[in-house]
Structure 1
Amino acid sequence: MYAVIKTGGKQYRVVPGEKLKIEQIPADIGSEIVLDEVLMIADDEAVTVGAPLVAGATVKATVMSQGRAKKVMIFKMRRRKHYRKTQGHRQNYTEIRIDLIAK
């Protein structure tokens, strides 16, 4: 069984027991969260696709950690114009473990 959820403007395919990093959400470590924007649920043979969301479907997850990703360097340059600009960015994330997919 798996589901496709939407959180933080991105879509993720999740399976119970899986760990994944999503955009940061304000939750304490160890707390349980409910993700209710479920776009699709697939059982062994039955596939339920929402329009746009599956009615009454939720995904329960546990917050494992909060952190920051590796630094991404942004480098801009105009050749022969003596222009260089370097910038860095670290994105905040929340690591969660998927516990249950409920219809």
Structure 2
Amino acid sequence: MYAIFDSCGKQYKVIQGQTIKLEKITGKIGDKIEFKNILIIYEKNKLNIGNPIIPGAKIIAQIILHGKNKKIKIIKFRRRKHFRKTQGHRQLFTNIKILKIQYLV
């Protein structure tokens, strides 16, 4: 059984017990959160597709960790103009563990 859900404008495919890295979600470590924007659920050779979401379906997950990704360097450079600009960015993330995928038929 797997599900595809939407969080922060991105779609993720998950199975029960999986740990994934999402963009920063507010909450404390150990808190349980629910995702209700479920797009697809596949179980026992049956595919349920939402229009655009499946009503009554939800994913229950637990927050494991908050952190920052590796730094990305952004460099702008114009040759022969003596222009150089360097900038960096570290995206915040949250690791979550999928506890349960619920679907009420």
TM-score normalised by the shorter chain: which range applies?
over 0.9
Aligned to 1:13: 13
Q: CA RMSD in A?
A: 0.7
Aligned to 2:25: 25
Deviation of 1:44 (Å): 2.3
Aligned to 1:47: 47
Secondary structure of the residue aligned to 2:88 is strand
TM-score, scaled relative to structure 2? 0.95
* 1:88 has 2:51 as partner: no
Q: Deviations over 1:36-84 (max 9, x none)?
A: 1101000121000111101111000000011111101111111222111
Deviation of 1:92 (Å): 0.6
- Stretches of structure 1 that go unaligned for 5 or more consecutive residues are none
Aligned to 2:73: 73
Corresponding residue pairs, total:
103
What amino acid is the match of 1:25?
I
